[in-house]
Chain A
């Protein structure tokens, strides 16, 4: 059994956060930072 790359609930949360479409300035920055963290 290989070690887990990421906790399942963490991945679920990440995926849910990725579905939020930004409308305000801070939401653009938050989403961009989230993408940077995944990268």
Chain B
């Protein structure tokens, strides 16, 4: 992706690149994935399907874009906030978390995205935040902690971390 240093018309500004990418996502892929939800993904296990592969890459991209957005240190001029703090997007993340119950890696990715959105973009829909809180409590209470299952324990710790954040914001 890197262009030649002296390329005329090159995009020298990370912000411009982020704005262009976010615009493309928010009018096309983002609503498409939210509308189709978990249809087209095999039920809840860790088997990779074309759509679950796409969802994973999509979440990884959003994760990276959030980090880049936060690194700009301009919280009042966030490029992503408006799109990622939407209730329908948060509910989409919640439905994916519910669906991918057999996939520790996917849950870890979802928790990471959720954590960053809650911490940095401060969504305010109390109903949705309450639903997310209930979902995480369910996850923690139904997880049997097993010695040496690092990824599983890590996910539980992330859930608790998010729950503490939600509680502090109440």
Kindly list chain A residues whose C-beta atoms are within 8 Å of the C-beta of B14: 5
CB distance from A27 to the nearest CB of B (A): 8
- Interface residue tally of chain A, by bracket? 20 to 34
Tell me how many residues of B have a C-beta within 8 Å of chain A.
32
**What residues of chain B lie closer than 8 Å to A2, measured between beta carbons?**
12-13
When each residue 6-39 of chain A gets 1 if its CB lies under 8 Å from chain B and 0 otherwise, what string results?
1111110011001111100110110111011111
- Residues of B with C-beta under 8 A to A8: 3, 7, 9-11
The verdict on A5 contacting B13 (CB below 8 Å), with A15-B21, A18-B28 known, is: yes
Rounded to whole Å, the gap between the CB of A6 and the closest CB of chain B is 5
Determine if A21 and B29 form an interchain contact, defined as CB atoms under 8 angstroms apart: yes
Given A3-B5, A7-B10, A18-B21, does the pair A39, B54 have CB atoms closer than 8 Å? no
Task: Find chain B residues with CB under 8 A from A9 CB.
Answer: 9
The A interface is mostly helix, strand or loop, or mixed, namely helix
Given the complex of chains A and B, what is the CA–CA distance between A6 and B3 in angstroms? 5
A5→B12 contact, CB < 8 A: yes
B11 touches A39 (CB 8 A): no
Q: How far is the CA of A17 from the CA of B12 in the complex (A)?
A: 21
* B57 proximity list for chain A (CB < 8 A): 32-33, 35-36, 39
Chain A residues within an 8 Å CB radius of B56: 32
CB pair B12 A4 closer than 8 Å:
yes
B residues in contact with A11, CB < 8 Å: 11, 17, 20
A25 close to B50 (CB less than 8 A)? yes
